[in-house]
Amino acid sequence: MEFDDDVKACAALVHRADPDRFMAVMAAPVTVRPLLFPLYALNVEVARAPWVTQEPMIAEMRLQWWREALQEIAEGQAVRRHEVVTPLSQVLSPHLAAMLDEYVAVRRWDIYRDPFEDEAHFDSYINHSAGSLMVAAAQVLGSADEDVLRDFGYAVGVANWLRAIPDLEARGRIPLLDGTPEGVRALAGQALDRLKRARSNASGISAKARPALYAGWQADWILRRAVARPERVAAGDLAQGEIRRRFSLMRTVASGRW
């Protein structure tokens, strides 16, 4: 796939809105970058759709627009012209496009102020958002076991969620079922267990698919930090310094250990 103007626009969008994933893609082989940038640009667009308006109906319409675009790809229809959708249609198989419908649908939670109903509801949100994105990113590159990817995606999703807690609470959301230190430690510990299980089954991820997992390079560090001192979550103290951030990514790439 060529690095055409649409892919360049996707890269620019990811660079502005998601610098961690931009770094991860730039650490990957040049040949896979045009495949990952459209997916991560989709993630930017879907993630921000519920937040760009105070009108729930408009936010619902924005998410529905992306569901319909993915449906066009899944059903082999003529795909709407768009700087993200057009290259995305060249990246996604019909199967992956259909899978990503629920990835968009779960973002409806972001529109409203209702808390998660229970642990199953929270886990479903993380699995369909972060987990499905991880599945799609890896499987567009090469062979990768979905169960391993969902374990890893869950860990990455929880790590990123814990980093977002202060902002979510400032926006009036209730992001955790149990926001006590004990509850935060338990959630981070559960995510760490999923990460360890994914790593124990690393043989299920082919070398071609491995660069997609670079995007989760900080998850282990974040989750361990949250387990050790869960009060860091509310304080917004889960970000790596710039030197550590770059070095840890370089180490992940060089070692091949995600």
The series of mean pLDDT values per 10 residues for the chain, 258 residues long, is 93 98 98 98 97 95 98 95 97 98 97 96 98 98 98 98 97 96 98 98 98 98 98 96 96 93
Report the predicted TM-score, pTM, of the whole model to 2 decimal places.
0.96
**Where do the structural domains in the chain lie, given as residue ranges?**
1-112, 118-258
The reported pLDDT for the residue numbered 10 is: 98
Task: Give φ, ψ of 193 to 5 degrees.
Answer: -60, -40
What one-character-per-residue DSSP string does 183-203 give?
Answer: HHHHHHHHHHHHHHHHHHTGG
Q: Which residue type sits at 186?
A: A
CA distance 128 to 190: 17
